[in-house]
Every structure is written in structure tokens, then in C-alpha cells.
Chains A and B, each alone.
Chain A
């Protein structure tokens, strides 16, 4: 009898081959998952590492940019949510809670601490990129994520808030171009764009 034509034996051969195949697949998957786990494991956070920020002009932010950002971005259903990375405080929405100071009543004006928190939240969205822009005296600000999001060039759940060359855009980019020196203020023309942005509905 021709052994190769023995259906019983050929059935067993197929079964063995299948088992071998499954074993190889399992070993392969195991190796792949181990490799993935090895490369995806995070190292221990280094608490000594920090990024020094070149902070843009603070008084101009406080007086001209923050009122617009508070009004436009800081509602409770957008960046006034406590879970947001870029979190905006203000009297229209989220209040800065302090266990020592207690809760600020909703209608009380935005506090200095809240404006500070907004400033640091904005400049630390992507600190390295922000530093790069500030090192070039605010030129090429369009690479900043918060501007790209606001113009809906990056996906933004809140959609497009302003267009390039609109009053808010001119206000924010003028602020970024301003020297860090707190005694230097926005020019009359730039300030008028900020005033327009603050008051637009």
C-alpha cells in the first residue's frame, strides 16, 4: 500500500503541521508583545528635568490678551473644564480653588492668581515650541498649537474661533512680538485690535 496515500496518516500530518504553525504563531506573538512592552515602558520621571520658559510680556497679557481668552475659551463647557490641559480660569467660568482662600463667589471679578494661572497655562501648552517662537521675538507664531487650534488648522472641537489677520489674531501675535520688558506696552494700533477682540460678541 502506498503510505503517502494513507488518509489517516495524511490527516495526522496536517494536524501536526497545524499544531506546529500555531506554536510558531504563539511564539512569534509572545516575542512581539515582549518587544512592544519593552520599548513602550516609560522610564522613571526625572524630577530634576525642567524646561526654562521665555515668558512673553506679562502686563500686556493681563490687560489685553487674558480678557479675550477668558471670554472666548474659558466657558465651563470648553477650556473652563477642570480636566483640560489648557485650563482657563475666569469670572465667567471656572474659578481657581484654594483651600486656604476658599471659594471665590461666581460673580467676583477674575483674580490676579487666576490671570497668572491662565498665563502659565497658555505658555506651557508646548513649552519648547513656545521658547522657539519667543527666541525669534515672536516671529513665526503660526506654529504654536494654541493659535493653530483657534484657527482650526489643527482639529479643534470648538471649531474656528478666528481667522488669520482677524482682530484676535493680530492682538495675540502682537503680544508675542512684544519684548519681555514689562514697561513696554502694546502700540495703539495693536491695542485697538485687542479691544475689538475683547468686545466682539
Chain B
């Protein structure tokens, strides 16, 4: 009878159609979920990450990678890097290697000292790629109180231990390279640099053996 069969045509969907609909819903959900988990939904942040470009194939991702780039773009909590840095940067020599005058030479074992707004003294040592970083747990419960003053020191065997201090303070930027961009221009003083010549023989990087325990500043030894 028509009156009995027609409502079924509207309300009851064939089994295979239901299956297709359910599968499509699941697929759509999976696409949305994967997009949300893999990408930042902030287009500005996404653009900043993309602007950094790909990894150098000669340097694997890790503490030696992407020297001179603004670390906290990826390591600032918004991803895509998993470990978060409270502050990070790269230190270079002021003078370039004459053999490679376009690429600044990183400073191995420079001391980066910070005097925070609450008078805490912090010191970090750069690795052979000139990179240094501080994770929030390294800074403790007090964290990093902005604004802070920064200085960089590269000790040498000759007893010459010049300290280069930044003339201004850091207001809120956790990545050195967001202000210290190359080339220097009206809006940037250029990369963070110690006013010394690069060593005659290049430092092997990454080192054959990782320093164990990790290097610390002289004031943190005791």
C-alpha cells in the first residue's frame, strides 16, 4: 500500500547508503583532525615557519640546526617543534672567514649572560654552531623576567676576554634573530657578534664526542 511504503522511502535509508554516509563523515572528521593536529591555525605563524625554509640536508634537526634563525618561531610553543625554549639564539664572530665571506662564522663556547628584571643572573654556553637555548625548566619557577640585559663573552687562550654588551635591553623577544637579522639595516644591527676574529682552524661540528657533562659558564661551576 502506498501510504505504508512511502514514509519508509523517506525515513529509512538503505543499509549501504548509511554505510557510505558514515564512511564519508569519518573521512571528513579524520581530515579535519589531521589538519588541526599538524598545522597551526594561525596564518601569521604558519607564514613565519614557512619563511624559514627547509632543513639544511647536511645538518640534522637538533641542537646544531638552523643557526642564525629565530628559534622560537618553531620552539615558542605554537609548534611545529615539540620542545619549547624560553630564550634562544646564535652567536657569530664579527669578522667573516675570508674563504667564505658570505657566511658568518659561529662562536663555539661563548658565554651568553642575562641580567633579568628581577635581578637574576643567567648564563648559557653556545655549542659549536653558536647556538644556545634555555628551556623553561632550566630557568626554574621564576622563569625569565622581561626586560633583561644581555652580554656575550668569548674567552680565548691568550687571556683576552672581551665582553660585548647590548646597548639596549630586550623588551619581550625570546629569539635573538628576530631583531638581529642579516644584513644590518635601519631596522637591524645584524647578527649577534663578538668582536673577535674567527679561529684559524675551523671547529669540528657536530663534535665527535658530545661534552659530558654539558658545558656551563664559569660562575655556574660551583
CB–CB B167/A92 < 8 A = yes
Tell me how many residue pairs across A and B have CB atoms closer than 8 Å. Answer: 61
Please tell me if the beta carbons of B171 and A75 are within 8 angstroms of each other in the complex: yes
Q: What is the size, in residues, of chain A's interface with B at 8 Å between Cβ atoms?
A: 30
B185 contacts the other chain (CB 8 A):
yes
Residues of B within 8 A of A96 (CB): 186
What is the CB-to-nearest-CB distance from B187 to chain A, in angstroms, rounded to a whole number? 5
The interface on chain B, measured as residues whose beta carbon lies within 8 A of the other chain's beta carbons, has a size of: 23
Cβ–Cβ < 8 Å partners of B2 in chain A: 8
- CB atoms of B173 and A106 under 8 A apart: no
Q: Is A56 an interface residue (CB 8 A)?
A: no
Distance of B157 from chain A, by nearest CB (Å)? 29
- B170 near A81 with CB under 8 A, answer no
Could you say which residues of chain A place their CB within 8 Å of the CB of B10? 11
Contact B167–A6 (Cβ < 8 Å): no
CB-based contact B168/A7 at 8 Å: no
Interface residues of A in 91-114 (CB under 8 A from B): 91-97, 103-104, 106-107
Q: Closest residue of chain A to B3, judged by CB?
A: A7
Are A77 and B173 in touch, CB under 8 angstroms? yes
CA distance in complex: A76, B177 (Å): 11
Q: Considering the chains assembled together, what is the distance between the CA atoms of A159 and B188 in angstroms?
A: 24
Q: A95-B186, A106-B189 are in contact. Are A75 and B3 (CB under 8 A)?
A: no
User: Does A49 belong to the interface (CB within 8 Å)?
Assistant: no
Q: Indicate whether A71 reaches chain B with its CB closer than 8 angstroms.
A: yes
Judged by a CB distance under 8 angstroms, whether B50 is at the interface is no
The yes or no answer to A117 lying at the interface (CB within 8 A) is no
Are A77 and B187 interface neighbours, CB within 8 A?
Answer: no
Instruction: Summarize A's interface: helix, strand, loop or mixed.
Output: loop
Chain A positions within 8 Å of B82 at CB level: none
Q: A94-B187, A95-B186 are in contact. Are A78 and B171 (CB under 8 A)?
A: yes
B59 to chain A, nearest CB (A): 27
List residues of A (47-106) whose CB comes within 8 Å of B's CBs: 71, 74-78, 80-82, 91-97, 103-104, 106
Please state if B185 and A11 are interface contacts (CB–CB under 8 Å): no
Note all chain A residues with C-beta closer than 8 A to B53: none
Closest residue of A by beta carbon distance from B188: A76
Q: In this complex, what residue of B is CB-closest to A1?
A: B3
- Among B7, B146, B178, B189, the most chain A Cβ lie within 10 Å of the Cβ of B189
Min CB distance, A71 to chain B, in Å? 7
- A selection of 23 A-B contacts at a CB cut-off of 8 Å is A1-B3, A7-B7, A8-B2, A8-B6, A11-B6, A11-B7, A71-B168, A75-B168, A76-B168, A76-B187, A76-B188, A77-B170, A77-B172, A80-B187, A93-B168, A94-B187, A97-B185, A103-B186, A104-B186, A106-B184, A106-B189, A158-B172, A201-B149
Apart from A94-B187, A201-B149, list 15 A-B contacts with CB within 8 A: A1-B3, A5-B3, A6-B3, A8-B3, A75-B169, A76-B188, A77-B170, A77-B172, A77-B173, A77-B179, A82-B186, A92-B168, A97-B185, A106-B189, A158-B171
